[in-house]
Chain A
Amino acid sequence: QKEVEQNSGPLSVPEGAIASLNCTYSDRGSQSFFWYRQYSGKSPELIMSIYSNGDKEDGRFTAQLNKASQYVSLLIRDSQPSDSATYLCAVNRVTDKLIFGTGTRLQVFP
């Protein structure tokens, strides 16, 4: 079992729709959870971080964490073509290395 699992996609959604990205992790000791966006040929860019169960909203983005189910998700509302990228889920224990999933490629079509 991979430490952090994501569906590779591509996930295709129309402009204006909600994109839902999912991630599961295996280490119950994980304490910090991150979503990064990576455009082709570029370095990852931090979008959201979440540390406790529940939802965390920031603009069009909402991260959801369920530690009991070892599940973290990212919702993107009002998806735009500029949101088309690969979204990486990452987890770590505090002060420890980040473990990344393989990423989900999102395509937002006009």
Chain B
Amino acid sequence: GAVVSQHPSRVICKSGTSVKIECRSLDFQATTMFWYRQFPKQSLMLMATSNEGSKATYEQGVEKDKFLINHASLTLSTLTVTSAHPEDSSFYICSALVARGRQAFFGQGTRLTVV
């Protein structure tokens, strides 16, 4: 299947700092990528849809100024958590649609811990 690479897999940061998470499609071009967040024992919640060359579309309740998304190329989307706080600690996962939207593959996920 298609490969989506996410980096870093784990990050610990101090409260108030910013963290950037990268999501790359390794063997295909992804015009659209999705960012999810998952708290322990809960399902994946869609945060935003990242479109190459345009502004991201955020889900209701997700602060666009706090979670900055950049999709500058067909193979890279980044999520920056700005001014992180302990409540932002979560598992962040990106995914990309392939085969004209008929399948979605996920990155490995990033475990963010804000201390």
Contacts and interface: CB of A to CB of B under 8 A. Distances in A.
A101 B43 CA distance: 7
Interface string A26-53: 0000001010100001111110010100
B88 to A, nearest CB: 18
B109 A43 contact: yes
A94 interface: yes
B60 to A, nearest CB: 13
Contacts of A44: 44, 93, 106
Contact of A96 (B101, B105, B111): B101
B103 interface: yes
Contacts of A34: 103-104
B67 interface: no
Interface in B81-115: 91, 93, 95, 97, 100-109, 111
A36 B95 CA distance: 13
B102 to A, nearest CB: 6
B37 to A, nearest CB: 12
Contacts of B32: 95
B67 to A, nearest CB: 16
Given A88-B43, A103-B43, A98 B95 contact: yes
B93 A94 contact: no
13 contacts: A34-B104, A41-B91, A41-B111, A42-B108, A42-B109, A43-B107, A44-B44, A44-B106, A49-B102, A49-B103, A92-B104, A100-B46, A102-B43
Interface of A: 32, 34, 36, 41-46, 49, 51, 88, 90, 92, 94-103
